[in-house]
Amino acid sequence: MKFIVSKKNIFKSLSHLQGVVDKKNSLPILSNILLEATDNKLVLSSTDMDISIIESIDCEVLEEGATTINSQIFYDVIRKLSDESNVEIISNDSKRLTIRSNKSKFSLSCLPKEDFPIIENKRNGNKLTINSGTLFRLIDKTKFAISNEETRYFLNGLYFNVKNSNGNNLITLVGTDGHRLATNSSLLDSKFEEIPGVIIPRKTINELYKLLSENDQIIEIDITQNKINFYFKSIILSSKLIDGNFPDYQRVIPKENNNLLEINRSDLLNAVDRVGTVANEKSPVIKLKLLENIINLSTINNDNSTATEDIKCSYNGDDIEIGFNSRYIMDIINNLENENILIKFKDSSSPIIVVENTNPDLIYVLMPMRV
21-48 pLDDT per residue, tens: 987 767 889 999 999 999 999 999 999 9
pLDDT less than 50: residues of the chain = none
Supply the DSSP symbol for 369. Answer: B
Phi, psi (deg, nearest 5) at residue 189: -70, -35
Residue 1: which H helix or E strand, with range? none
- Domains in the chain, please, with CATH? 2-115 (3.10.150.10), 126-251 (3.10.150.10), 254-366 (3.10.150.10)
As a three-state string, the secondary structure of 84-97 is CCEEEEECCCCCEE
Q: What is the pLDDT of residue 194?
A: 86
Task: List residues bridging with 365 in a β-sheet.
Answer: 181, 353
CA nearest to 47, candidates 65, 33, 68, 27: 33
The whole-number pLDDT of residue 274 equals 95
How many alpha carbons lie under 13 Å from residue 308 in its C-beta half-sphere? 8
Q: What is the pLDDT of residue 215?
A: 86
The residues with which 285 forms a beta bridge, in sequence order, are 325
DSSP string, 95-154: SEEEEEETTEEEEEEEE-GGGSPPPP----SEEEEEEHHHHHHHHHTTGGG----GGGGG
The pLDDT, as a whole number, for residue 190 is 80
- In this prediction, residue 363 carries a pLDDT of 98
Q: What tens digit of pLDDT does each residue of 234-254 get?
A: 999 999 999 999 999 999 999
Q: What is the pLDDT of residue 94?
A: 76
User: pLDDT tens digits, residue range 42-60?
Assistant: 999 999 999 999 999 999 9
Would you state the pLDDT for residue 174?
Answer: 98
pLDDT (0 to 100) of residue 346: 96
Instruction: Kindly list the distances between the CA atom of residue 358 and the CA atoms of 59, 354, 369, in Å, as whole numbers in the listed order.
Output: 47, 12, 29
Q: Regarding beta strands 41-47 and 227-231, do their DSSP bridges make them parallel or antiparallel, or are they unpaired?
A: unpaired
DSSP-derived secondary structure letter, 326: H
